[in-house]
Amino acid sequence: MSRPKEQRFRLHHRAKGGKTATMIFDPPLISAILVRRYKRFLFDAVLENGEAITGFCPNTGSMLGLNAPGSRIWLSEHEIGPTRKYRYRFELIEVDGVTAGINAAMANRFAEEALTARLVPGLEHYTVLKREQKYGKKSRIDFLLAENGLPDAYIEVKNVHFTRQPGLAEFPDTATARGARHLEEMGDMVEAGHRAVMLYLIQRPDCHRLAIAGDLDPVYARAYDRAVARGVEVRAVRCAITHREIRAENAVPIDDRARAV
């Protein structure tokens, strides 16, 4: 059996007013039918040639609404080795007539592209970006932005792909004590004289607003309200997605009026 060509995603900046960043799946993703997702990190599927496979699901959340058996999914293929047990990785799923991204590990990559492409309102003037910087008590911030004459900006990224209402993305899709802790620590950074920004990265092209799902995690909702009151800023960026590419496309508004409680 020949070894699979290692999946390496290529990033391309495409000019559209100077504000797009595209990730092309190269080589192309592989189509399959989802059988089940289980134990958080595993899934079973059937490839187009009829082969039944088990693969790695890079998402720690509930994936509520994105794990229905029989759904068309798209997989990347990788060589098995000492640090990689499964050949296939779950990347995308087709649901409600659209393609949604489920790979939470890619959210930071898309967020970085959105930041460097100047897609995030209020952060366009920063020119220095540092990844995974220590802050708070035991945490690492996803990005630290710096610029002479401006306060440092601490950026925490959250992956979003949950929706219950047409056009409305919601976060979280399950309880997240870690997310609530991040909000508290970001509020501390604001009180220390810095900027802190929660950046919600929406991996669904059919969502044009974002709200907090307070009914699914009231603790997170309260932490969110407290953080905003302390000066933590909130932004959301939506991605355009096909099984060939993902593009960080544009900022969308936060709709607190649409919050479920």
Task: Quick: pLDDT tens for 40-59.
Answer: 999 999 999 999 999 999 99
Q: Under a CB-based contact definition with an 8 Å cutoff, are residues 73 and 92 in contact?
A: yes
List the beta strands (DSSP E) in the chain: 10-12, 21-24, 30-38, 42-47, 52-56, 72-77, 88-95, 98-101, 128-135, 139-147, 150-160, 162-165, 168-171, 195-202, 209-212, 233-241, 245-252
pLDDT digits (tens, 9 = 90+) for 26-42: 889 999 999 999 999 99
One-letter amino acid for residue 109 of the chain: R
Which sequence spans correspond to the domains of the chain?
104-251
pLDDT score of 4: 44
pLDDT at 180 over 80: yes
Claim: this prediction has a pTM higher than 0.85: yes
pLDDT score of 21: 61
Find the distance separating the first CA and the last CA of the chain, reported in whole Å: 53
* CA dihedral sign, ordered 44, 167, 213, 194: positive
pLDDT score of 166: 94
pLDDT digits (tens, 9 = 90+) for 59-88: 988 999 999 999 999 999 999 988 889 999
Give φ, ψ of 86 to 5 degrees: -115, 140
pLDDT at 8 over 90: no
pLDDT score of 14: 43
pLDDT at 113 over 60: yes
pLDDT score of 220: 97
167 φ/ψ sector (left φ>0, alpha ψ -120 to 50, else beta): left
Taking the C-alpha atoms of residue 240 and residue 92, their distance in angstroms, rounded to an integer, is 12
pLDDT at 196 over 80: yes
Chain mean pLDDT for the chain: 90
DSSP annotation of 189 reads H
Strands 233-241 and 209-212: unpaired
- Out of 3.40.50.1390, 3.40.50.720, 3.40.1350.60, 3.20.20.140, the CATH code matching 104-251 is 3.40.1350.60
